[in-house]
Structure 1
Amino acid sequence: MNMQGLGFRLYRFCLTIWMVILSAKAFPEKQCLVWCCRVRLNSWVIERSNGQIAENRVSTFSHRNVKQVAICQKFPPCKGSDNRRSFNMFSPELSDADFRRFSKLVYDKCGICLGGGKKELVRARLNKRLRETGIDNFKDYYRFLTKQDNGRELVKMVDAISTNVTSFFRQRTHFDFLRETVFPSVKESQNRIGSRRLLFWSAGCSTGQEPYSLAISFLEYFGRRNSHDLRILATDVSTNVLEQAQRGVYPAVCLKGIPQTILRKYFQRGYGSQSAKYRIKESVKKLILFKWLNLMEPFSFRHAFDLILCRNVMIYFDKNTRERLVGKFYNCLVDGGYLIVGGSESLAGSDHRFKYIRPSIYQK
C-alpha cells in the first residue's frame, strides 16, 4: 500500500469521525443516531463501546457506481430524558384501525369529522405529540389519551390536528353588513330605549384576528366614548391559538391591506428587533374576553348575545352536529340577534329556526 493511498484513507476516516461528532451535537436528544450517506470508495462502520472506537470493514454494494456507508453511533441519554422512551427518528405508521379510533375520539369530544382523506394529515400532526410524550407508536398514544384523567393531553392533541386559518377583516362583506345594518339598528335602539351593553361572541376565534376586527369595527362606528357598551367573548378549543390571541402581537405581513389610519389608531409598532411586528392597543384588547370553550359541551351563559360569529368552523362537523350547534346558538341570541357563518357555509338543508337574511347571515 503506498503512502498516498494510506493518507487518503486516514483522511476519510478522520472526516467521518468529525461528522459523527457534529451529528451528536445536532441531535443530543437521540439515543441512537443512524446516518446513511453515499461515497465512491470503501466504507467504514464506526462504533463506540466503553469509550473505545473500533474500525471495521463492511461489505458494500453499488448503485450507479455509488456505494453506501452506514454509520451507527450510540450516545448516552440526554439530561431529563430518563422518563421518556427513545423515539424512532422515522415517523411510525398510522394503521387504518388506529386512525378510526382517533377519528371517533375527536368526533365524540369535539364534533370534528376526520374523513379518510385526512389520515396522512393526522399522522403528520400527531407525530409531534408522540415526540413530546416520548411514546413511539400511535396505539400506545391512544391508550395514553383515553386513560388520562385530567384531559390535558386531549386538549394538546386537538391543538395539533386543528386547522387555524384567519386574517383581519376576513370576508369584508360581513363587516360591511355590521357597519350598514347591525350598528345603525343598535344606535337607533339605543336612542329610543336608552343605552345597554352589547354582547358579541366570536365562536372559534383562532388567533384573535376576528374578535379584534369586531372591536375595531365597533370603535370606528361608535367612537371610543361608547366602548364601555360592548363586550366580546372570544372562544376556541385550541389553547395554543388562545395564547397567541391574548398576546395580540402579529407580524406586519398579517396586516397587509389594513389602512394606515386604522394601523395608527389601534396598533402599536414594535421597536428594534420587533419592528416587523405590531401589538393591538389596550383600548381594543379591553373589550375582549378570551376563554377556552368546547362547542360540543353545554353552554352556561348568563346573558344572551346580540351577535354570534361562527365562521369556517362548522365545515368540520357533520349534519347532525351542525344542527345541534345551530340550535344552541339560536337559544343564546336575543330576539332579533344575528348569526354569521363562513362564506362557504350554509344552513340550507339543515333543520333550524333562523330567518335567512343574505348568504351566510341569519337572524333570530
Structure 2
Amino acid sequence: MWRTCSGPPPVMLQPPDLSLSLELPEITPAEFAQIQQLAREKFGLDLKPGKEKLVEARLWRLLRQGGYKNFHQLYRDIIRDTTGESLIALIDALTTNVTSFLREAEHLEFLATTVVPALWDRPTIDIWSCACATGEEVYSIAFVLLERFGHEIETRLQLLGSDISTRALRYAERAIYPESRLANLPPNWLQRFFLRGHGRMAGYYKVRPEICRLVKFERINLVEPFDHLPRFPVIFCRNVLIYFTPEARSECVPRLVDRLEAGGYMFTGLAETLSGTDARLAYVQPGVYRKKPARKLRRGGNDQWSDDGV
C-alpha cells in the first residue's frame, strides 16, 4: 500500500463536495454567551461577538450527533459530563488547525543556521512545538534539520508535538497527508521523507517511520499547568496566542517561558508579538524571542544564581 516515492506522483482527483445542507438552529445571544464563557474558562479561547455564525457552523455536527434541538441542550450536557470527553469534543469542533508544511519558513532557516549550531555539543537537541495541530509544523522542523545536518542529527533530535485537539493529534500521529498538502515541499523531499500511497491510498503520502520515531505527541492544554515537562532550548508557539483572551495570554506566556531554558529561543507567528508579556524575553527578530541568561547574585559572599523567578 505504501511504496518509496519514485517517478512523478499520481494525479489526485478532488472529490465532490458532499456537504449537507441541513437547516441549523440559530444560536441565541444567551446560548452564545454560554459557549463563549465555557471556551474562555476551559481553553482560553476568545470568541468575540460577531462569531455567532462561526460557532453555529462549527458545532452543528455535535448538535446533530447528540440529537439536540438547540445549543443550550448541548451546553447543559457538556457541563454535566464528568468524564471530560464532551469538553474535548467541543474544543475539537471549535479549533481551526490551520497549518501547512514550511509555514513561515524564515523561522526554520533561523533555527537551522543560528539556533541548532549553538546546541550542537549537546547529547540531545530537544524542541517543543506546543500547538502542532495536525503535525505539519513539527515534521517540517524534522525535515529542515535532517536536510541540513543529515544523519548526524537523527540520533539526537527529540521533538515534542502537542495540541489541545485530540482529533488533530490523531491526524499528526498517523502522519498521512493528501498530495495537495505537500505543495510547499521540494519534490526531492517527497522521495526522501515520505512513502507514496497506492491502491486505495493513492494520492496520499505517509511520513517515513524513521522520521515519525523522532516525534512524540501529547495532548496539552496551554491554559492549564504543564510543569511535568522539562525545559527546552527551543519552543515553537506560532499562531495560537492570537486566539486567546488577553487574560489567558498573560497567564500562558510566563508558563511557556518557565519551560524555556535560559538563553533558549521561543518562536511565535510573524504577526504575533510577546513584547511586554514577560520581562525574561528579549526580542531577536519578527516572531523570534530569546530568554535572557540567568542573573548572578551575590549574598553573604556566596555566589547564587537566579533564573528570574523560574
Instruction: Return the TM-score normalized by structure 1.
Output: 0.72
**Residue of structure 2 in register with 1:285 after alignment:** 212
**Residue of structure 2 in register with 1:267 after alignment:** 194
* 2:106 aligns with one of 153, 170, 173: 173
Matched to 1:102, the amino acid is I
* 1:333 aligns with one of 246, 249, 260: 260
CA RMSD of aligned residues (A): 1.3
Please tell me whether residue 135 in structure 1 is matched to residue 68 in structure 2.
yes
**Residue of structure 2 in register with 1:317 after alignment:** 244
* 2:135 aligns with one of 208, 222, 237: 208
Q: Percent identity?
A: 38
* Contact 1:236–1:294 (Cα < 8 Å) also in 2: yes
Instruction: Say which one has the larger Rg.
Output: 1
Deviations 1:152-191 (A, max 9, x none): 011101111111110111001101101221122122xx1x
**Residue of structure 1 in register with 2:299 after alignment:** none
Please tell me whether residue 300 in structure 1 is matched to residue 233 in structure 2.
no
* Contact 2:220–2:226 (Cα < 8 Å) also in 1: no
Matched to 2:268, the amino acid is V
* Contact 2:128–2:160 (Cα < 8 Å) also in 1: yes
Show the 5 A alignment for 1:148-159: 148-159=81-92
* Contact 1:234–1:290 (Cα < 8 Å) also in 2: yes
Show the 5 A alignment for 1:87-98: 90-98=23-31
1:252, CA displacement in angstroms? 0.8
**Residue of structure 2 in register with 1:101 after alignment:** 34
Tell me, which stretches of 5 or more residues in structure 2 are unaligned?
1-21, 292-310
Deviations 1:105-140 (A, max 9, x none): 001000000001111100111111011111111111
For residues 279 and 164 of structure 2, what CA distance do their matches in structure 1 show? 24
1:299, CA displacement in angstroms? 0.8
Show the 5 A alignment for 1:64-143: 90-143=23-76
Change beyond 3 A, Cα 1:115–1:302: closer
1:257, CA displacement in angstroms? 2.9
**Residue of structure 2 in register with 1:343 after alignment:** 270
Instruction: Return the TM-score normalized by structure 2.
Output: 0.84
For residues 285 and 211 of structure 1, what CA distance do their matches in structure 2 show? 10
Matched to 2:255, the amino acid is K
Q: Give the match's secondary structure for 1:231.
A: strand
* 1:237 aligns with one of 150, 161, 164: 164
For residues 95 and 24 of structure 2, what CA distance do their matches in structure 1 show? 20
1:349, CA displacement in angstroms? 4.2
For residues 218 and 228 of structure 1, what CA distance do their matches in structure 2 show? 12
For residues 225 and 318 of structure 1, what CA distance do their matches in structure 2 show? 42
Q: Give the match's secondary structure for 2:137.
A: helix
* Contact 2:135–2:169 (Cα < 8 Å) also in 1: yes
For residues 181 and 279 of structure 2, what CA distance do their matches in structure 1 show? 36
Deviates more, 1:239-248 or 1:297-306: 297-306
* Contact 2:193–2:207 (Cα < 8 Å) also in 1: yes
Q: Give the match's secondary structure for 1:201.
A: strand
**Residue of structure 2 in register with 1:358 after alignment:** 285
Deviations 1:268-302 (A, max 9, x none): 11113423111000121001011111111111335
For residues 243 and 183 of structure 1, what CA distance do their matches in structure 2 show? 29
1:351, CA displacement in angstroms? 4.2
1:329, CA displacement in angstroms? 1.1
For residues 29 and 116 of structure 2, what CA distance do their matches in structure 1 show? 50
More helix by share: 1
1:340, CA displacement in angstroms? 0.2
Question: Higher relative contact order by CA 8 Å / sep ≥ 6: 1 or 2?
Answer: 2
Q: Give the match's secondary structure for 1:168.
A: coil
Please tell me whether residue 250 in structure 1 is matched to residue 177 in structure 2.
yes
For residues 324 and 257 of structure 1, what CA distance do their matches in structure 2 show? 35
